[in-house]
Amino acid sequence: MDFAFTQEEAAFREEVRAFVRAHLPADISGKITAHKHLAKDDFVRWQKILHRKGWMAPGWPIEFGGTGWSPVQRYLFEEECAAAGAPAVISFGVNMVAPVIIAFGTPAQKSYYLPRILASEDWWCQGYSEPGSGSDLASLRMRAVRDGDHYVVNGQKTWTTLAQFANMIFCLVRTSTEGKRQQGISFLLIDMTSPGVSVRPIITLDGAHEINEVWFDNVRVPVTNLVGEEGKGWTCAKFLLSHERSGIAQVARWKRELAFLKRMARELQSSGKPLIEDPLFRAKLARAEIELLALEITDLRVLASDREGRAPGPEASILKIKGTELQQTITELMMEAVGPYALPYAPEAMQAQWRGEAIGPEYAAPLAARYFNYRKTSIYGGSNEIQRNIIAQRILGL
């Protein structure tokens, strides 16, 4: 296999690099490289810049606003954005619900929602997990009962990422209790401003408000917000999860983080010499880099199948497993590199660090919070244990 880029691809890389250099706001890239939290406006500003350029949704078909890029061009775009410190486009709209609407939605749903997603007029969140229904998603209990031209929705979703910013949520709901559990599930689009919807924050160990509980109390949802057929939502759910799992790996972003880790290892001292000269630590770095390169090739293979119009298959589970394990490995190595300087992970300590009041390198304070945060990546999007079962069944035939 030839891994060299063509002249056209190299020219495309330069085009993307020049655009990002000229248009990415410095305050946003500064937050990314310093591992600071981004506000909603930071994401929306960058997404609107991409939208004006026509680069908001590279994976969409051209007729709906996609770019028509090849898998290699999409890879190069993501790599250049990540290297420059651009925030990732929020996946819930562009990369998760939009492909479902394109594949299963009505013409009216496509004409209404897709332009709003492109323009960042809607901020979406995902309503899948419930208390007691995570990896065993088919056990979900949130009910949607038909009442004329509406569904009346009651129940709870949990671990809902960034729901505090969202005005729309796509939900799996139970519309029937008959037959197999999967056959009674439907896929609904719900306006978060509807009466009866309430959002309650879940504060994580690092003091951040990233996830939430979302409650639904007799929420009326138009039947026209049903995607696909009633009782066929499990098909939509599997389709969406394959796209989510492919995106979780975030290879380009973690190439940037690995480069940051290498810089740290050159600056920090161990036994009077740069940490990168320590043979044990250097071996760990080398192993992480080799696995990241292997993951990159798998990612390109998934992109190629996506261009052919096929949803990512079981190889998406490989991306999910190895991607999340590598993310955890790299955050662990960052903690190991800075040692005790990573201890002040409380938000107030990080703020002091950024004011120059704390001891140690400026980049050290946020690292413990990131270490704790990335413990969850092997669970969401379908736990890695579930992904191994998928690989065993669909690839190995066990």
Catalytic, 244? Answer yes
> How close are the terminal C-alpha atoms of the chain, in Å?
30
Kindly list the distances between the CA atom of residue 225 and the CA atoms of 85, 171, 174, 228, 288, in Å, as whole numbers in the listed order: 36, 11, 15, 9, 44
Q: What are phi and psi of 242, to 5 degrees?
A: -65, -40
Mention every residue, 6+ apart, whose C-beta is less than 8 A from residue 63: none
CA distances, 370 to each of 138, 327, 328, 331, 377 (Å):
31, 10, 9, 7, 11
DSSP-derived pairing of the beta strands 168-174 and 185-191: antiparallel
Provide the strand spans (E) within the chain.
Answer: 124-127, 143-147, 150-157, 168-174, 185-191, 197-203, 209-222, 226-227, 269-270, 273-274
Task: Pull the structure tokens for residue 17.
Answer: 């690099």
CB atoms within 10 A of CB 109: 18
| CA–CA separation, 4 and 15 (whole Å) | 18
Say which of 230, 244, 296, 315 is annotated catalytic: 244
For 252, phi then psi, to 5°, come to: -60, -40
Helix (H, G, I), strand (E, B) or coil at 110: helix
| Closest alpha carbon to 303 in 252, 374, 235, 236 | 252
The catalytic site residues sit at 244
